[in-house]
Structure 1
């Protein structure tokens, strides 16, 4: 079907000239309710490209006159558009523009503009409507056609149990294109970038029609929050309206699986304790994290028991349990990687600890078995020494629950960035160290061997300056004292002082954005734990039962309804005690909080309603210029209703910070307006001079 691109000229605000408002070809997109995701991306990209064509920072677009057109675009989307893929498209464009490095900052400004429009659009909705837009998954057109033609309902359960979050369906007309998506994290990101670039590189709708494959296919089955995580839209994810949704998923107020049956369908919905299956609570991230901590505590107890006993001659029952725990942990990490994909998996810093723990456990098991088989007890002792290294990662892994608190979760990104800067600085330290070590070793070769001199220089570098002064004449009476004085000065004063100052500046730089980093990691963990396409998720070590029973059956039995029903029965039998504990906890919680799991305000009916009628385009432009904001016949509240609420809660004030600037922001806005007028004047003078030159 050809794309009907209808557009309207964007009205110029009356607050003075700006580099954006002076652009003559700015147009508002006309997005229909039934437009496909590729069409929405194309229309929005044309508008963003026209609106933002000069470098601007995020704060300039948010608080100054530079972002006037973005506010009008938000009003237009809020009052005129009901397409459910609006937020998905904006965040996909944010990913596209954020990846481009044009050297001028225009692409970065457009990426910021997409992020601002996305979260401002959400702030003008009710909370329940914001949930619908943020968790709307981009549908596969081929799946929709197949499901509409089929007589039986689509099976959304275990049929896709081995797929990942960043996945594609097998029903594509282009299987080779989809198979390219099963790559590493960098390859996936490159594929997502290229898919949007195919749309944004062309300026006409006819160019999109000529594409043989759907360039937005890699985004199929991704919701807006997942796209935001892939696009590193940390400001978007840190907004209160978005964090309330993520917190709702964390607490189980929003669920994706409401029942445990063969034909269950993955779909975001609000939890209803009366109708929902109690076993669906096993997928709540909060309970997953609690069980993870309990599992690691048991893991740590077995670990200490085996190390304290340390039987060199035979494998004890406790050691067998430790191997079972290791195997269950390893299989759970593999399943998590397959479900989440490498992009989400690598975003969690604790997964690096998990992989190191698995590597140490494998080395220990190999050395232990080989040593017992060969009766080489020296090798057995080395195996236990290797196992002792596990505590360096297992103990912090148990304490990873602290990273969910704002304080520790904010501190960890700072330490991470400081560690990166420290490693970069150590390159210079190693160069200086190797240079002086070589000189001292050659000059004092008659008195000290190379290993001895290396140890002396290391002690001097770590603060034992007196050692250098004691041996400087022994190294060489002529060259020893001046060289040692220079080395001590460099290592103890210059290098250490520079390192301290650099790390202090690094901490100050990162702490300003540490909250965004913390909320980003927290959001990725919640999405990774909750939006998996796997219906039956076995907790370790019960996952080994499913692996031992059903994995061999996959080799010669089809994955039919009976096969999936067997997995469900095993899950119910093994996880019934866990579900009982969860139900008891929620019963006690409901006594304290009578509202239960209904903390989202707004209409309960879906807000994705088709537009029935709209004012004529020319009359709408005149009314927008006069300050009128039309209300469309939809169940959503318009921006005027949202903004004019009688009382705004304190925690909701963050959502409207961009529309209610502080005194400092007002002064910045006034100064920016003056700069904009001066820039426009210079541009007009340059244009006039150019015309005079042409005439001459």
Structure 2
């Protein structure tokens, strides 16, 4: 039975949009075996009833408007063991954020879902948080046996786009559950949103409904859904970032074997049981190889430009062509894996596309210059290649963006660039007006091109040029118009631009850490949660393309296809794996037996409260993250939970200490108040006793 609570009226601040009200709200009971759709439906009903007024994120987090969220968190902590609970909360966050019918109320409910999601995680041990965050929503229409049979028939069936394929596919109308090119039924994003909205009012509990709006999230874990929903505050939480850091360092992996029948499942890495070639999917090592790849790219680039042989193709130039081809194919694979939307979230991918475009233009011009010897075509080809350094050198240094300091500056510069482009529209309008006037007034002395150069020099600070030519433009109109233009460009417009960019930087830097952690999280998820078992580092990906890709189209169900890719991967990447294992041996020497390295929490279940203590339907177990060593024996169960509210965005160690100190102060205050009340009661009893004695006398 659902639990009904009554929210008591709380005092509100003067001017607050909230009023004291009584509202009976049913706390949802989430069963351990409830489907994802049913969990979403129950939570949606609660948020619809509990959050009825528009409110900001801070109001929900700190004022009485968030009392309903605290009650829900406490209730879910005590009664809920459904592994899809965090997935459902973040899916609803995405749903309410896209509710354009009532943006104010939708934003409030969206923020409420995000707050409940991270507070729920903070009430559990770190290993339990890993389990909740990495739980993938299963496909209800396919049993495990059916999925294995499909994999046996089509070894490449599981190697599709890894990050958010189903949700992102709905933007272009493709089926979220089918590969590219499938003619199966398409799921539209907006129609899914409207059907998800109707879940709150739908009394039909049939989870086998064919037109299921929650099907777009099947196969995604909570972190991927958070990336879809732009839940940047959730991703910036300490407990979530520790999980992402674990994925980055390879402490948490999704592949542990390299075999034809391998399947993706999250687990803690155990070096004694995992295939060493699975370490090729660790994001940290992928980034290191990327830096090495660009380093070799830069060496070939300098070799070609320094030699500059226009009569023939040199060895370094041929190697450069192969490097550009491998780079291009690798970027296409990343685009297909991540999807266009998430591929564009990384600003460095824009540099990659420009570098590839420059490389293709260079190759075309160079081939034309060789086949039809033309000095100008060859010169133009090398001049175009010289532009590559503008993007290649910053791209090599992009590894600095993974550090908190440099990574925080990138979102600030990105937003300042957007504001600058918007402000330049106003400057261009003013500039064109003065250019037209000066060109017409001084047409006898200056041509349009020369007047354009003069005004451009003035705009960039050479004000003296304007004072020198203002009499030559026109003796009457020239001086006053030029003074006005110089004043506007040098003081008003440039001063306004400087002040706007300063305000923009101050505004963005407040949330720059969240932006940085969001981009960092998306990169880690893109690099680690791919459904591709075999990922070839460039330029080895060209071998896979040449040797195996044609067979995929000739024999689409060829059962040796995946086995051949695995064999080629092991042959070509053996030296890389040897270096990785040697590095890990040096780093984790003597600590290899700890597969839960860095994650706190009990490894074995130690009991919970009785069902009668926590309400009907309570369970006695939690979902466990699979472990290659214990094989399900290590159940991630808490022995204790934090009882304080997590009211900070991303608590640091200092903030945690402050919270603990605040809890102790609250406890001490409660003790003092209790002692004071006890003293008042004793005084009243003594006074009453004295009165009785006087009366008896």
Same fold, judged at TM 0.5 (above) = yes
CA displacement 1:570-595 (0-9 Å, x = unmatched): 10000000001101110110138678
- Asked whether the equivalents of residues 155 and 557 of structure 2 are also in contact (C-alpha less than 8 Å), the reply is no
Computed over aligned residues only, the root mean square deviation of the Cα atoms, in angstroms, reads 3.3
TM-score by length of 2: 0.84
* 2:420 is the alignment partner of 1:422: yes
Distance of 2:32 and 2:343 partners within structure 1: 34
- Asked whether the equivalents of residues 176 and 216 of structure 2 are also in contact (C-alpha less than 8 Å), the reply is yes
Q: Counterpart in 1 of 2:692?
A: none
Q: Counterpart in 1 of 2:373?
A: 375
Q: Counterpart in 1 of 2:53?
A: 54
Q: Counterpart in 1 of 2:6?
A: 11
Of 428, 444, 447, the residue aligned with 2:445 is 447
* 2:642 is the alignment partner of 1:642: yes
* 2:284 is the alignment partner of 1:286: yes
**1:197, distance to aligned residue in structure 2 (A):** 3.2
**1:612, distance to aligned residue in structure 2 (A):** 8.9
Change (3 A) 1:153 1:415: closer
Q: How does 1:489-504 map to 2 (within 5 A)?
A: 489-504=487-502
SS in 2 for 1:159: coil
Change (3 A) 1:661 1:517: farther
Of 196, 200, 211, the residue aligned with 2:197 is 200
SS in 2 for 1:26: strand
Q: Counterpart in 1 of 2:95?
A: 96
Q: Counterpart in 1 of 2:319?
A: 321
**1:610, distance to aligned residue in structure 2 (A):** 13
Distance of 2:657 and 2:51 partners within structure 1: 22
Q: Counterpart in 2 of 1:111?
A: 110
Q: Counterpart in 1 of 2:687?
A: none
**1:38, distance to aligned residue in structure 2 (A):** 1.1
CA displacement 1:105-129 (0-9 Å, x = unmatched): 2111111100000000000111111
Q: Counterpart in 1 of 2:620?
A: 633
**1:343, distance to aligned residue in structure 2 (A):** 2.7
Q: Counterpart in 1 of 2:599?
A: 600
Distance of 2:374 and 2:507 partners within structure 1: 53
SS in 2 for 1:313: coil
**1:346, distance to aligned residue in structure 2 (A):** 1.4
Q: Counterpart in 2 of 1:298?
A: 296
**1:555, distance to aligned residue in structure 2 (A):** 2.3
**1:40, distance to aligned residue in structure 2 (A):** 0.9
Distance of 2:265 and 2:457 partners within structure 1: 61
Q: How does 1:46-445 map to 2 (within 5 A)?
A: 46-102=45-101, 105-144=104-143, 146-147=145-146, 158-167=156-165, 177-178=175-176, 191-192=188-189, 194-206=191-203, 209=206, 212-445=210-443
Distance of 1:282 and 1:156 partners within structure 2: 24
Distance of 1:616 and 1:589 partners within structure 2: 45
Distance of 1:585 and 1:575 partners within structure 2: 16
TM-score by length of 1: 0.84
Unaligned runs of 5+ in 2: 168-172, 623-635, 667-697
Distance of 1:260 and 1:15 partners within structure 2: 59
Distance of 1:644 and 1:510 partners within structure 2: 30
- Asked whether the equivalents of residues 6 and 23 of structure 2 are also in contact (C-alpha less than 8 Å), the reply is no
Distance of 2:543 and 2:456 partners within structure 1: 53
Length, aligned pairs only = 633
Q: Counterpart in 2 of 1:625?
A: none
Q: Counterpart in 2 of 1:511?
A: 509
Query: Larger relative contact order (C-alpha < 8 A, sep ≥ 6)?
Result: 1
**1:440, distance to aligned residue in structure 2 (A):** 0.4
Change (3 A) 1:385 1:269: same
Q: Counterpart in 2 of 1:692?
A: none
Change (3 A) 1:70 1:442: same
**1:421, distance to aligned residue in structure 2 (A):** 0.3
- Asked whether the equivalents of residues 125 and 641 of structure 2 are also in contact (C-alpha less than 8 Å), the reply is no
**1:192, distance to aligned residue in structure 2 (A):** 4.5
SS in 2 for 1:10: strand
Q: Counterpart in 1 of 2:674?
A: none
Q: Counterpart in 1 of 2:671?
A: none
**1:450, distance to aligned residue in structure 2 (A):** 0.5
